[in-house]
Chains A and B, each alone.
Chain A
Amino acid sequence: MIQFIVRRILVAIPVLLGILFITFALARLLPGDPCRAALGERATAQVCDAFTKRNGLDRPIPVQFGIYLRDVLRGDLGDSFRQGRPATEILIERLPTTIELAFYAMLFAIIVGVPLGIISAYWRNSPVDVGTMVLANIGVSTPVFVLGLMLEYLFAIILKDTFLWLPPSGRLSAGVDLPHLAETWNLTDLSVQSAAVLDFVSRLYTVNAVITSNWVALRDVWSHMILPALAVGTIPLAIVARMTRSSILDVLGLDYIRTARAKGLRMNKVVFKHALRNALLPVVTVIGLSLGGLLSGAVLTETVFNLPGVGRTMFEAITARDYTVVQAFTLVIAFIYVAVNLFVDLLYAFLDPRIRLG
């Protein structure tokens, strides 16, 4: 098992280097002079010379790549020249929203998708099955932003004045207070690193509300998260449901299931005790693969629901031509994506011995 983990991590290294190279190239390929892109059109030649020297832009490209690698390893992703502060600071501020959104979306996809898949497989070709699969097809075919907007209209306008009303945008209602953890615990004199970590955790509103037992805020956070999570989670939900269904149907055709049935076990028991465990293996992979779509969906959903997450920041940075932020965010998102897929691979190997031995 350890050998497998090591091998799998080693394979990820060239990919990570490639990602670094692409984000590095991204900044070099941008149209126009990097100095004037960074400091504005009216920067003088003198100022630009100093800028070029300081950022090593007069050095050969391989050396520049080396400098970039060194900076990234130190955790320095450059400064946003629109906001005049480090890109990492902006990341710490914006990443928690997206993580929360992705978490709830995935939770929704699994909690609803797996049972739907089981039901469809169990009553194959029944109206339930056909209905689920039709809905799954419509689900993967609806653009995330359209779905988000329709949900917004349904829950915020049509269901207004009913108990089903949900807030159409933002993370917290006005008047609901969820203070920073450092404030709650009266911490001062924190080191830079621990302040950053604390800041990050504070902005994971669910976690913050739970550890400070702020149930009013938790309810409010949830009510704001439901619609975005439904919008982002629908495509993964459809994929998970279809995958669970086809995977269970595959397993049900295997010999050991026939044996179990021949022994006189009831269908219920065979499906839930024998088939499900093996059938859920491919579903794990799908969950990992869905993450990419989830992050892509986040850009759109955060725009629709006005959430201050990674996606919306990326988009704002692009329109403001704030390239360092685009570069930093692209890099971090790609790294997260690779890391999650690595984790899923390892989990898969852990669940299925045939993989790590094969």
Chain B
Amino acid sequence: MQIPDLSKSTPESASSRLRTTLRALRRNRSAMLGFSILTILTFVAIFAPLLATYDPEKPLIGVEENIKKRASPCIHILGCSEDLPQHLMGTDGNVRDVFSRILFGARLSLVIGFTTVSFAIVIGTFLGLVSGYWGGWLDTMVMRLMDVLLAFPSLMLAIAIVTVLGPGLINALLAIGIVSIPTYARVTRASVLLLKEMDFVSASRALGASDFFLILRRILPNSLTPLIVYGTLGVATAILDAAALSFLGLGAQHPTPEWGLMVGQEYKNVFNAPHLTFFPGIALMLVVLSFNLLGDGLRDALDPRLAKIRMA
């Protein structure tokens, strides 16, 4: 945890702190690698319609000649016959261009990661602030509830929640969001417990600041560091879990170009069409890897003492 002092809440030093962090981050090689992968993925996600050569959802039957389903990648400059249509990553079981689907999948993946984590952080932080600040029976109740949620393996609980809500991408995201709340509630509460006894908070209170002001202006800004780190790593977990739910058929539904779903629809054909598992799999691995690397780097840059805590 940071040892905050009053000087840090003034604007000049806040920006200088940001500068120090960025400098530390730039020196961290793995963080920069993660950041680069993420930049490329974001670029791909934004410009997917311009980069994609085909419609990601429409079958190409009747659109192109000589097209076959589950065709292996065909790249003309690498020696693929000019008679065949060019498909960088081949076609899938519904005769769609895998490359275009992968590009559009980047959009979904990033949106999935950010929305679920934002949802979990907002609710988790609120619970953590309230229970840490006021304590008492409220704290006991909230934290026991979090313990119970943590007592389930996360994907299992998400599966159970999706069973209740019904399959679908939105429900899957909601389930993953709910499952991730405890982490952020705990992290925030731990910071609040430490911060609320600090002199600068007592000083504010002595000057007549309200609870509301203390929580929002004194405590919350100083408990953001661990939240940023856990949030970044949390995006990686959220993307993995969402892909797993879609793989099982509980998340995104046909014909959405979601990477987990793409593997789920074709995994039984892995022996004759491995490219249909390989490409979406690599794409998933890259996006998750980028957030993991960035999260690790942020942790080292923002707070060396956090480095020991690993997300299991």
Contacts and interface: CB of A to CB of B under 8 A. Distances in A.
Interface in A131-154: 137-138, 140-146, 149-150, 152-153
Interface in A110-163: 137-138, 140-146, 149-150, 152-153, 156-157
Given A137-B289, A318-B250, A19 B267 contact: no
Interface string A1-36: 000000000000011001101100010011100000
Given A137-B293, A296-B155, A296-B156, A143 B240 contact: yes
B277 A146 contact: yes
Interface size class of B (residues with CB under 8 A): 35 or more
Contacts of A137: 30, 289, 292-293, 296
Contact of A243 (B250, B260, B310): B310
A149 B166 contact: no
A299 B148 contact: no
Interface stretch (A224-232, A273-281, A330-338): A330-338
B156 A153 contact: no
B252 to A, nearest CB: 14
A86 interface: no
B69 to A, nearest CB: 19
A138 B292 CA distance: 9
A18 B145 contact: yes
Contact of A300 (B144, B236, B248, B270): B248
A69 interface: no
Name which of A140, A141, A168 has the most chain B CB atoms within 10 A of its CB: A141
Contacts of A239: 310, 312
Nearest to B164: A29
Interface of A is mostly: helix
A318 B159 contact: yes
B211 interface: no
B247 interface: yes
A318 B163 contact: yes
A170 interface: no
A26 B307 contact: no
A293 interface: yes
A140 to B, nearest CB: 6
Contacts of A157: 271, 274
A297 B308 CA distance: 25
Contacts, number: 151
Contact of B148 (A19, A144, A286, A293): A19
A80 to B, nearest CB: 15
Interface in B102-123: none
Nearest to B145: A18
Contacts of A286: 310, 312
B50 interface: no
A177 interface: no
Interface string B275-291: 00110110011101100
A334 B278 contact: no
A302 to B, nearest CB: 11
Given A141-B285, A330-B160, A150 B248 contact: no
A148 to B, nearest CB: 9
A337 B288 contact: no
Given A19-B151, A146-B263, A152 B250 contact: no
B312 A153 contact: no
Given A304-B267, A315-B248, 4 more contacts: A141-B236, A146-B285, A153-B274, A333-B156
Interface of B: 30, 144-145, 147-148, 151-157, 159-160, 162-164, 166, 236, 240, 243-244, 247-250, 260, 263-264, 267, 270-271, 274, 277-278, 280-281, 284-286, 288-289, 292-293, 296, 307-308, 310, 312
User: When A and B form their complex, which 6 residue pairs have the shortest distance between CB atoms, in order from nearest?
Assistant: A18-B148, A296-B155, A146-B281, A289-B312, A141-B289, A292-B153
